[in-house]
Structure 1
Amino acid sequence: MALLLQLQLRAWLWTALVLYVFAGSWRQTDGQLHSEDHADVNVFHNNLEDANVMLELLWEGLEIEANKTIRLQDEELASLRPAKRFLQIFQHQVPKTSEGIKEQLKHLSQADAPLSLVEFDQLLFTSVYCAYQIRSIQGLDKNLWISFFSQLVDEILHDLCKGFCPANSTLLASWPWKEKPFYLTSLKKSYHSSVAMMKRGTE
């Protein structure tokens, strides 16, 4: 079970990287990227090379402590400037409670224009945080984080589709489970398996 969830998490990180590169290319085409000399301290994603840095940081593994403090498992990597900027944003710009994520989703649902780089980074990093929560939380609470993850992926795709895709074509949350992408259906299966194991343990 632990190995399966680890593979699912890594699959999502690869997906996140693809979305990161796609978003960077699109915004760079639109002339919205900051130059490296004028990088926003609240934005990690200032150029396409940052996507590779992001994947390396996430691939080495994060640790989310009980007080919600985020740290990288690789201490040497964590000492580098990009890692410090990444952790600064992840720690202070990403909501980590159900109420905070609900508020973020409400704000995103009302946004008609493409998200700024700051908002897109927050959205993507929040989805990564939810993926880690899905891996670590047991019991019925896992379903809440699966729901958050699904909605956040919807918002990522919706933002990337603004101006290109038919209306409501990316609302994954409204799809039947059997039609959802594998990275969501596999999480649902794992959730049901965990609940079944808990029930057997109480009989």
Structure 2
Amino acid sequence: MKNAIILLVFIALFQSCAITKGTENSTVLEAINLQSSVLNDELFYKILTELEEENGVDWSNGRMDKVNAQELSQYANNMSWLIAQYKEKGIYSTDEVFLWRKWNPFSSTRAVTTPCVFPNCLNTTKLNKWHLKRSKFSFTNTLIHERVHSFGAIHPNQSSRGNECDPSYVAGNLAEILLLYRHNQNLDNYDKILCPGLKSKLIVYGILNTP
């Protein structure tokens, strides 16, 4: 009897950790579709470009070490490279977004993407099933963030604190805020910690209010 119970618990855990299609979750599906709205928004690229010109994005600590150096040398700067990746490679498709449950339910990890290592580049991402109770705008933030990793850029640790100006966090947060703004959502209570340069830009453009 004891062995049977252990077996049932093991089966339940295995099934909950199984990788499934992202489209099984309706909110995730909405987010997959919202990616195009971000990548078709010229203000997204304009703000990213201006932040780079003002040295507002943190590319230090080996964040670009996995990007092919020869490819990177063809661009004026790292942000020009990143914008080109977004425009040329586009969004995650419905076949490239998966759901998976990390073994640790207390982990803050929202997604996992294997960085592109030239010439073998994967184009998939897995969203953590422990963090599915959130909005379509939040999911889009994660997808735009993870897309940066799929291009090859990484950050030195998995905490958002201290990484606010990392390109993946800047792009993801900018995407979410622009979507909220375009959909006439109230941004007064937006509580994510933003890169100071990004926050200043959003205030200048009248998207965020002065605190």
Q: Whose RCO is larger (CA < 8 A, sep 6+)?
A: 2
The higher radius of gyration belongs to: 2
Structure with the higher helix share, 1 or 2: 1
Structure 2 length as normaliser, TM-score?
0.35
TM-score, length of structure 1 as denominator length:
0.35
